[in-house]
Amino acid sequence: MAIDYSALYPVMVMVVFAAALPAIHAVAKSSRVLAGVSLVGIFVTMALELMYIVSGEYPAAIGGASVELLRLDVFAALFALVFLAVAFYVVLASARYVEKDRHQAEYFSLILLATAGMMVVAMAVDLITLFAGLEVASISSFALTAFRKKDKRGAEAGAKYYVIGGLSSAIALYGISLLYGITGTTNIAGINTVLAGMGSELDIALLLAIGLLIAGFGFKVALVPFHMWAPDVYEGAPDPIAGLLAAGSKKMGMVLLFKVFLVGLIAIKADWQLLAGVLAVLTMTVGNVIAVQQTNIKRMLAYSSVGQAGYMIIALAVATPYAVEGSIFHIITHAFMKGGAFMIVAALAYVALGENIANYKGLAKRAPFLAISMTLLLFALAGIPPLSGFVSKFVLFSAAIDASQIADQNWMFWLAIAAILNSALSLYYYVRVIKYMYVDEGSTKDRIKVPWSMTAAVAICVIATIVIGVWPDPVIDVCEQAARALFAG
Amino acid sequence: MIAIEYFLGLSAILFAIGAMGVLVKKNAIVVLMCIELMLNAANINFVAFSAYYGNLTGQVFALVSIAIAAAEVAVGLAIIMNLYKTRDTIGLDEVSLLRW
């Protein structure tokens, strides 16, 4: 029987380009050529995915009728686009960032492979493919984190990320094995069918499986109390890779949680909804409170990223299509806001400006474009209209309030209140950076010259943040379709 | 046929030993071996449940996860070796440049 592999074409394009890069490196020893080729690969894949979304026709799922493994639907295509967009600006900013390093071909190759793994996770409808995609993305990002072998902090960050990543995979795999034991299937929608048929009796093995899955995937998303690794790893990793981890890997973790909990375990949602709500409030509060005290810009962004993950988890606690729509929307806007901020840090690190927030004093006069971009992105992260962060937070929080109208779900109202209070708190440490850039005088007024490729990467993020903020309707529309597709199983 | 409870008991003990080891051991190689124990505990579960239900999904999953674990260890050992080269130690408690 011939299998129709057309759903995998976008992933195949990425893998082919990733495999071709080392060969190209043998002929052309320039990081710009390698980055250019990677950009072409990413662009072709984006065009493919965009074609599917616009036409609304998707290829047949891979696998037989009873054992579907991968399915490319609007949810998968939308998330693939987000991951590809992140990879696009990360590669663009890396073109000059790694120009003096060895093993450049492997660097770009690994970025493409990590993205391909994330795309597989977004397509997975079976726990086997879900786990395989997750590991492809994780293993590539371990290697990318430790990319600068001579860098002491990079080596340490790589080792820490590897130990935590391996541990979280092992915990999640044990949870998956229990889930398979309880239901006898690894098909995510099939698990839900079996659980729905079992009635509402609480099974100790099921509770254990839920706990292990939340812990295992919680490490990937950096939920409190599984977040301790994130700031260390983001600080030690090369700057563009920190952007890839914060804007790409973390979103993949959200996809994992969505697929397993909102598709596979939705029948028993009463068992884990409150837990997810508690984790959401805990994550956003701890992330934002600790971010206030940070003096290193990358650590500050890392903790703010932890806080943002707390907002996204609200969708898990509320578990309605509207909330998931808001969460997907926030994932998209966050990918540009946080990624753009990391790209600015990368650009400034490239010209040897330190990572300390105090080093950014007087930046408005030294690099006006980067300063205004950083201001816009930080305001968007805090949720100031008319930037994209405001619209996505609005949809997300109003979904929580909407769901709290139903009896015995009144506690969801407090999720929205906690999130709004946290947004106000986060404004404090974002504005501190802006004050340093605009109000304080720096020790020097020399202009900073940043390579155009890095400026372009920042510009993409800023433009996306503004455009989505002013004209959110088409994006919200696709997010709604994606949320529906997710709940349709 | 051996009852499934024995397999589950074995895998639970292996998983607990592995998790304990990750928490208390400081040597990166030992931690890596403990993670392998945890992964293999899950594999025992998969194979045991596969035999119990009489479907092959669990065995396929176990094979896939063994292959993935091998790839993970290859990258992990390289990272730990690099840590030893740059820092002269693989004690996880001794590498603490990155700290709040």
Is B86's CB within 8 Å of A152's CB? Answer: yes
Q: Residue A434: its pLDDT value, please?
A: 93
Q: What confidence category does residue A201 fall into, taking pLDDT thresholds of 50, 70 and 90? A: low
Other beta carbons less than 10 A from residue A215's beta carbon: 18
Q: Residue A202: its pLDDT value, please?
A: 66
Which residues on chain A are in Cβ contact (under 8 Å) with B38? 167, 170-171, 173-174
Q: Residue A131: its pLDDT value, please?
A: 96
Nearest chain B residue to A293 by CA: give it: B100
Q: Determine the Cα–Cα distance for residues A197 and A218; give it in Å rounded to an integer.
A: 28
Is B95's CB within 8 Å of A174's CB? Answer: no
Tally of domains in chain A: 1
Is the separation of the CB atoms in B34 and A167 below 8 Å?
no
Nearest chain B residue to A146 by CA: give it: B79
Q: Residue A480: its pLDDT value, please?
A: 94
Q: Determine the Cα–Cα distance for residues A207 and A179; give it in Å rounded to an integer.
A: 10
What DSSP state is assigned to residue B89? -
Q: Does B22 touch chain A (CB under 8 A)?
A: yes
Q: Determine the Cα–Cα distance for residues B95 and A376; give it in Å rounded to an integer.
A: 37
Average the pLDDT over A30-36 and give the result: 92
Of B15, B65, B83, the CB nearest to A156: B83
A338 in any annotated domain: yes
Q: Residue A200: its pLDDT value, please?
A: 60
In angstroms, the Cα distances linking A462 to A238, A380, A383, A406 are 21, 10, 14, 38
Alpha-carbon gap: B73 to the closest alpha carbon of chain A (Å): 9
DSSP code string of A34-66: HHHHHHHHHHHHHHHHHHHHHH---PPPEE-SS
Is A142's CB within 8 Å of B49's CB? Answer: no
In angstroms, the Cα distances linking A99 to A30, A91, A226, A351 are 7, 12, 35, 13
A378 in any annotated domain: yes
Alpha-carbon gap: A412 to the closest alpha carbon of chain B (Å): 33
Q: Does B39 touch chain A (CB under 8 A)?
A: yes
Alpha-carbon gap: B2 to the closest alpha carbon of chain A (Å): 16
Q: Residue A8: its pLDDT value, please?
A: 92
In angstroms, the Cα distances linking A17 to A10, A39, A91, A371 are 11, 10, 13, 35
Average the pLDDT over A383-395 and give the result: 92
Average the pLDDT over A370-376 and give the result: 95
Could you say which residues from 57 to 86 on chain B have a Cβ atom under 8 Å away from some Cβ of chain A? 57-58, 60-61, 64-65, 68, 71-72, 75-76, 78-80, 82-83, 85-86
Could you say which residues from 351 to 390 on chain A have a Cβ atom under 8 Å away from some Cβ of chain B? none
Other beta carbons less than 10 A from residue A428's beta carbon: 12
Q: What confidence category does residue B82 fall into, taking pLDDT thresholds of 50, 70 and 90? A: very high
Is B39's CB within 8 Å of A173's CB? Answer: yes
Would the pLDDT of B100 be above 60?
Answer: no
Alpha-carbon gap: B90 to the closest alpha carbon of chain A (Å): 9
Average the pLDDT over A142-156 and give the result: 92
Average the pLDDT over A73-86 and give the result: 95
A362 in any annotated domain: yes
Q: Residue A261: its pLDDT value, please?
A: 94
Would the pLDDT of A65 be above 70?
Answer: no
Nearest chain A residue to B36 by CA: give it: A170
Domain hosting A354: range is 272-489
On average, the pLDDT of chain A sits at 92
Structure confidence by residue, pLDDT tens digits, A155-186: 999 999 999 999 999 999 999 999 999 999 99
Would the pLDDT of A224 be above 90?
Answer: no
A263 in any annotated domain: no
Q: Determine the Cα–Cα distance for residues A61 and A5; give it in Å rounded to an integer.
A: 8
Structure confidence by residue, pLDDT tens digits, A425-458: 999 999 999 999 999 887 787 888 889 999 999 9
A115 in any annotated domain: no
Which residues on chain B are in Cβ contact (under 8 Å) with A178? 45
Of B31, B82, B98, the CB nearest to A232: B98
Average the pLDDT over A62-74 and give the result: 83
Q: Determine the Cα–Cα distance for residues A264 and B19; give it in Å rounded to an integer.
A: 26
Phi, psi of A337 (to 5 degrees): -65, -55
Between A63 and A120, the higher pLDDT residue: A120
- Take residue A487 and report the two structure tokens written for it: 């709940």
Start-to-end C-alpha separation, chain A: 26
Which residues on chain B are in Cβ contact (under 8 Å) with A102? none
A31 in any annotated domain: no
Looking at A54-58, A298-302, B46-50, which range is the least confident one? A54-58
Q: Determine the Cα–Cα distance for residues B1 and A437; give it in Å rounded to an integer.
A: 72
Which residues on chain A are in Cβ contact (under 8 Å) with B10? none
Would the pLDDT of A488 be above 90?
Answer: no
Q: Residue A67: its pLDDT value, please?
A: 77
Which residues on chain A are in Cβ contact (under 8 Å) with B65? 131, 173
Closest-CA residue to A144 (of A239, A39, A10): A239
Structure confidence by residue, pLDDT tens digits, A292-325: 999 999 999 999 999 999 999 999 999 999 999 9
Is the separation of the CB atoms in A432 and A295 below 8 Å?
no
The H-or-E segment that residue A323 falls in is: helix A321-350
A303 in any annotated domain: yes
- Take residue A204 and report the two structure tokens written for it: 């100790």
Structure confidence by residue, pLDDT tens digits, A325-368: 999 999 999 999 999 999 999 999 998 888 888 889 888 889 99
Alpha-carbon gap: B82 to the closest alpha carbon of chain A (Å): 7
Angle at B28 between CA B26 and CA B33, to 5 degrees: 105
Is A170's CB within 8 Å of B60's CB? Answer: no
Is the separation of the CB atoms in A284 and A317 below 8 Å?
no
Between B94 and B70, the higher pLDDT residue: B70
Is the separation of the CB atoms in A303 and A457 below 8 Å?
no
The H-or-E segment that residue A68 falls in is: strand A68-70
Average the pLDDT over A272-291 and give the result: 93
Structure confidence by residue, pLDDT tens digits, A82-132: 999 999 999 999 999 998 888 899 999 999 999 999 999 999 999 999 999
Q: Does B28 touch chain A (CB under 8 A)?
A: yes
Average the pLDDT over A261-268 and give the result: 91
A209 in any annotated domain: no
Give residues with Cβ within 8 angstroms of B18, minimum separation 6.
A170, B34, B35, B36, B37, B38, B41
Secondary structure percentages of chain B, helix, strand, coil, to 5: 80, 0, 20
Other beta carbons less than 10 A from residue B17's beta carbon: 14
Residues in chain A: 489
Return the amino acid letter for A355. Answer: E
Task: Please determine, for the modelled complex, whether the ipTM score is greater than 0.90.
Answer: yes
Of B35, B42, B95, the CB nearest to A159: B95
Best interface-test mutation with B: which of A121, A161, A180, A208 has the largest number of B CBs within 10 A? A180
Give percent of chain A with pLDDT exceeding 70.
Answer: 98
Q: Does B45 touch chain A (CB under 8 A)?
A: yes
